[in-house]
Amino acid sequence: MMCFLRVTTMFLFLFLDIVNSRVVHGEQNAPLVYDKSSLVSFMLCIVSDPENALESWKSPNVHVCDWSGVKCSNASDRIIELDLSEKSLGGTISPSLGNLSSLKILDLSGNFFVGHIPKELGYLIHLRQLSLSGNFLEGVIPSEFGFLHSLDYLDMESNNLDGEIPTSLFCNGSSLSYIDLSNNSLGGFIPLSNECVLKELRFFLLWSNHFVGHVPLSLSNSTQLKWLDLESNMLSGELPSEIVHNWPQLQFLYLSYNDFVSHDGNTNLEPFFASLMNLSRFQELELAGNRLGGKLPHIIGDLPTSMQHLHLEGNLIYGSIPPHISNLVNLTFLNLSSNQINGSIPSSFCHMIRLERVYLSNNSLHGEIPSELSDIKHLGLLDLSRNKLSGSIPDSFANLPQLRRLLLYDNQLSGKIPPSLGKCVNLEILDLSHNKISGQIPAEVAALASLKLYLNLSSNNLYGPIPLELSKMDMVLAVDLSMNNLSGRIPPQLESSIALEYLNLSGNSLEGPIPYSLGQLPYLEALDVSSNQLSGVIPVSLQLSSTLKILNFSFNKFSGNVSNKGAFSSLTIDSFLGNDGLCGTVIGMESCHKKHSYHLVFLLIPVLLFATPLLCMCRYSMVIKSRVRKRFTVVNKGKLRDEEEETEELHYPKISYGNLREATGGFSSSSLIGSGQFGQVYKGVLLDNTRVAVKVLDTETAGDISWSFKRECQIIRKIRHRNLIKIITICSKPGFKALVLPLMPNGSLERHLYPSHGLSQRLDVVQLVRICSDVAEGMSYLHHYSPVKIAHCDLKPSNILLDEDMTALVTDFGIAKLVKGDDSASTSYSAASFSSTQGLLCGSVGYIAPEYGMGKHASTQGDVYSFGVILLEIVTGRRPTDVLMHEGSSLHEWVKRQYTNQDKLGKLVEEALQRYSSCLPNHHNRTRQDVILELVELGLICTQQNPSTRPTMMDVAQELGRLKDYLTNPNSSCRSENSVK
């Protein structure tokens, strides 16, 4: 409205200017005055010009043809070009531009224009080039654009346009050679038919929209096509092999993240690859994130040798990699990750000497890593993670001078880390975690000063000291050496790793004190030294650190006074468990004054005893011996009776150790189905043919077993809900304690999320929503309706079991906590009996609420956070720990970055749809998309940093219940009016 008023007011003044021009300069200049008035009207709709791009437009001494961005014709003295691209202009596009009747080029790209595209632009019949890309324009593409018969170049990429492409645009735009409508919200079918042919078309880009249907057959008439990008839409059908061979000039073909299948019922890729064989200029093929099935055909090696990029990741491709692929000698980028490919890595890869990046992760490749890969001198990234590769890491990798990222984690590699890797002087990331690698950390590798992101050697069998050379990594952000057998002291020289933000040395055999210098690292945010043999006083430098947020000193031999000041102000006893020598003012920690009093008493006792007359000692010696003998008798009998009566005390039917041993085949490895923090789980069959899971608590590693055992029994006995696990019975004897639970035939949710665990069944979207709803209902009961309000504290996919009907049940209450302030709880259990056994934090890494890292008490809001992480994990298919190590952020932060980028969000949703099959008809793709998007949003809301802003599990259960209804009745709204805030 303001723009309209400004234009109307200015028109009155310009009218006199036009009349004066006709009188003074003659009739021939009037059209230019009209053009000028149109530009002035356009300028009045600009509300922001931070670069003063229109400064010359405001000067009365500058001729309109000399205005910035304006070009006039020498012959007609009319404006023929307006180019204001990348000027940071903000406002709306004035319809007055439609009056520039001689305009041939209009470029307003890379600005901040909002509102709708004026239909008046469709009257610029001489327009050849129109570029409005990179703005914030919304609404539909005007059908009047069908009048632009001379249009050759149309670019409206990266706006907020919606609706369908007007049929008239393609039917009448026979001159169009370049079309880019990418990164909008356009939908419907691609409006090409035998009546609408674009014979001059060379570039056709529609990526990141919502187009449906097949690739139009009439597109085969565009025989000059060079570039086709339909990525990230909802297109379906077989790969367009019958069309492709009609494009002899084709160089780039992008069909990723759609719903395409291969030929012959999604079993044959050969016809499509055959259609590409004669495209002599072909360079890049992207088919990632579809549902393509079938084996890689041998003719893949007969593709044009001009090929540079090949993307086939995220499909259902199986079988081995054909050795003939090495014929693609100009290939620089190869991605076959996240398929079902098996066999070994062909040694013939070495013939593709131009390869720079190779992704083969998340398959079932086995055998050894070919040493011939070292012949690929340009190789900068090699990702072989999440396979079944064995053998040792080739020494020859030292011959890869350009190698920047080497990812071999989650395999079955053995042997030692080759010291020769230290010659890879450009290496930025080295991840060898979760293998069977042994030996010491080579000094040459530890001295890799080029490492900029992270070094991960965790979960191997490494031993020996931490090399002093590690201090030379002065740019590395994260170092994880946890879960090995490292010994010796923590080197003080680590202070030289000045960029270090994350250091994990837990689960080793390190001894001695923590170096004072460690607390002086300027950017260190997380330090975990738990489960070692460290001793001495915790250095005050850590307390004085202004950056440390997460600390874990648990299960060591530390001593001394710990103050709740500085970085320790938010910590609780959970950060210091298993250190009997510590005292101080940290929440839950025994005060030093009280501990010193105890020491004084212990010193006085022997003095008093020795001061007692010897005669009295003799006189009463027999009496004391008698009492002691009786007492031991009573204690031993009582102890045995306690063990025998524990089952009765907890109100469960009796079962003997022998029964369980027989049911599980002597607790054989073949019956082992899982392990956790407190022990192992075995499957078995009782005498009455009941199939059970027997959870045997590990008496060597679980700490106070009686406490943990009773705790889980007591908690489960008090709760009753269809989505919470029930105990059949328990078995308790000296040195042995077990829970007998119903056997869940469909295993855990984790096994279904990661098929590499041996599960072939794919979940569909409906099942996922039902599972999430089941878990939310169970957690809502724990938080709001249970007789004792309980925070689970360790919610994760492996603790969600699925019965024969795929109903989800929450299990493993080993570290659950009664919610503070619950009166019913205080009468039944002591506060001590519900202290955490998790060390620093309650739960598992990646699922832990951030406030726990600041020392906050466990709460139901922490469970909401964990549940949100599970939702995001389901949608992304990424473990939160993987995101932390490989992206340097939490899963919440990573997904949030995708969510704020329309292109990345669309790709994320499409990948989720490809990951999970659907029991819905194809025309319900929109329904599935809405549901996935809703899960993303709900996951982000549940994982907000501030616990007070998260919803309750009651709210979450209601939202997921609504989603279930929506899947049953897609006509109902996917967005509730009272959505979770």
Tell me the longest C-alpha to C-alpha distance in the chain.
139
> Which one of 585, 604, 623 terminates a domain?
604
Whether 781 and 930 share a structural domain = yes
Rounded distance between C-alpha atoms, residue 599 and residue 592, angstroms: 10
111-115, 584-588, 597-601, 969-973: least confident range = 597-601
Query: So what's the pLDDT on residue 100?
Result: 96
Domain presence at residue 85:
yes
Whether 541 and 587 share a structural domain = yes
Whether 847 and 923 share a structural domain = yes
**Of residues 593 and 402, more confidently modeled:** 402
642 is a catalytic site residue: no
Rounded distance between C-alpha atoms, residue 586 and residue 572, angstroms: 6
Whether 172 and 25 share a structural domain = yes
- Residue 520: CB atoms within 10 A of its CB come to 15
Angle at 952 between CA 950 and CA 792, to 5 degrees: 100
DSSP letter for 615, please. H
Whether 764 and 739 share a structural domain = no
C-alpha R_g of the chain = 35
Whether 733 and 783 share a structural domain = no
Whether 842 and 693 share a structural domain = no
Tens digit of each residue's pLDDT (9 = 90 or more) over 130-174: 999 999 999 999 999 999 999 999 999 999 999 999 999 998 867
Domain presence at residue 919:
yes
Rounded distance between C-alpha atoms, residue 525 and residue 502, angstroms: 6
The closest alpha carbon to 179, from 227, 108, 246, 114, belongs to: 227
Rounded distance between C-alpha atoms, residue 471 and residue 450, angstroms: 12
Give the domain CATH number at 738. 3.30.200.20
The closest alpha carbon to 309, from 403, 387, 222, 231, belongs to: 231
**Of residues 189 and 821, more confidently modeled:** 189
Q: Would you state the structure tokens that stand for residue 242, as one six-digit string? A: 């019958």
> Which one of 154, 188, 222 terminates a domain?
188
Domain presence at residue 20:
yes
Strand partners, 693: 683, 741
β pairing state of 454-456 and 429-431: parallel
DSSP letter for 513, please. P
Query: So what's the pLDDT on residue 687?
Result: 82
Domain presence at residue 931:
yes
- pLDDT tier for residue 969 given thresholds of 50, 70 and 90: low
Whether 718 and 771 share a structural domain = no
The closest alpha carbon to 212, from 181, 182, 242, 186, belongs to: 186
Whether 702 and 778 share a structural domain = no
Task: Please report which helix (H) or strand (E) contains residue 205, including its range.
Answer: strand 203-205
Per-residue b or e along 82-94, where b marks 16 or more CB atoms closer than 10 Å to that residue's CB: bbbbebebbbbbb
| Cβ atoms 683, 673 nearer than 8 A | yes
For residue 885, is it left (φ>0), alpha (ψ between -120 and 50) or beta?
A: alpha
Residue 650 has pLDDT above 60, yes or no: no
- Residue 657: CB atoms within 10 A of its CB come to 13
Tell me the average pLDDT of the chain: 83
- pLDDT tier for residue 81 given thresholds of 50, 70 and 90: very high
Tens digit of each residue's pLDDT (9 = 90 or more) over 498-514: 889 999 999 999 999 99
Residue 19 has pLDDT above 50, yes or no: no
> Which one of 188, 216, 245 terminates a domain?
188
The answer for residues whose C-beta is within 8 angstroms of residue 558's C-beta and 6 or more apart is: 534, 535, 536, 537, 538, 576, 579, 581, 582
Share of the chain above pLDDT 90, in %: 56
The closest alpha carbon to 185, from 940, 926, 932, 967, belongs to: 926
Query: So what's the pLDDT on residue 828?
Result: 29
The answer for residues whose C-beta is within 8 angstroms of residue 980's C-beta and 6 or more apart is: 938, 941, 951, 955, 956, 959
- Whole-angstrom CA distances from 193 to 199, 222, 235, 244, 918 are 12, 12, 16, 16, 30
Query: So what's the pLDDT on residue 622?
Result: 45
Domain presence at residue 645:
yes
Query: So what's the pLDDT on residue 714?
Result: 59
β pairing state of 691-697 and 679-685: antiparallel
> At residue 468, what is the residue type?
L
**Of residues 859 and 635, more confidently modeled:** 859
**Of residues 759 and 416, more confidently modeled:** 416
For residues 523-531, give the mean pLDDT: 93
Whether 644 and 590 share a structural domain = no
Number of domains in the chain: 4
Whether 597 and 700 share a structural domain = no
Query: So what's the pLDDT on residue 888?
Result: 66
Domain that holds residue 511: 489-604
Tens digit of each residue's pLDDT (9 = 90 or more) over 224-257: 999 999 999 999 999 999 999 999 999 999 999 9
> At residue 429, what is the residue type?
I
Rounded distance between C-alpha atoms, residue 252 and residue 873, angstroms: 33
| Cβ atoms 796, 844 nearer than 8 A | yes
Residue 115 has pLDDT above 90, yes or no: yes
Count of CA atoms in the C-beta half-sphere (13 A) of 829:
26
Domain presence at residue 337:
no
Query: So what's the pLDDT on residue 929?
Result: 82
Rounded distance between C-alpha atoms, residue 438 and residue 444, angstroms: 16
For residues 185-195, give the mean pLDDT: 92
Residue 291 has pLDDT above 60, yes or no: yes
For residue 507, is it left (φ>0), alpha (ψ between -120 and 50) or beta?
A: left
Whether 854 and 940 share a structural domain = yes
Rounded distance between C-alpha atoms, residue 773 and residue 794, angstroms: 18
Query: So what's the pLDDT on residue 837?
Result: 32
| Cβ atoms 454, 431 nearer than 8 A | yes
Strand partners, 694: 682, 740
Length of the chain: 981
Domain presence at residue 981:
yes
Q: Would you state the structure tokens that stand for residue 46, as one six-digit string? A: 């600009």
Give the domain CATH number at 519. 3.80.10.10
Domain presence at residue 868:
yes
Tens digit of each residue's pLDDT (9 = 90 or more) over 551-599: 999 999 999 999 888 899 888 888 999 999 999 998 889 888 655 444 4
DSSP string, 225-281: --EEE--SSEEEEE--HHHHTT-TT--EEE--SSEEE-HHHHTB-HHHHHHTTT-TT
Q: Three-state SS string across 116-149, please?
A: ECCHHHHHCCCCCEEECCCCEEEECCCHHHHHCC
Is 0.75 topped by the overall pTM? no
Catalytic residue, candidates 155, 794, 812, 863? 794
Rounded distance between C-alpha atoms, residue 473 and residue 455, angstroms: 10
Query: So what's the pLDDT on residue 790?
Result: 83
Share of the chain above pLDDT 70, in %: 81
Tens digit of each residue's pLDDT (9 = 90 or more) over 900-946: 777 788 888 888 877 775 554 444 555 778 888 899 999 999 999 88
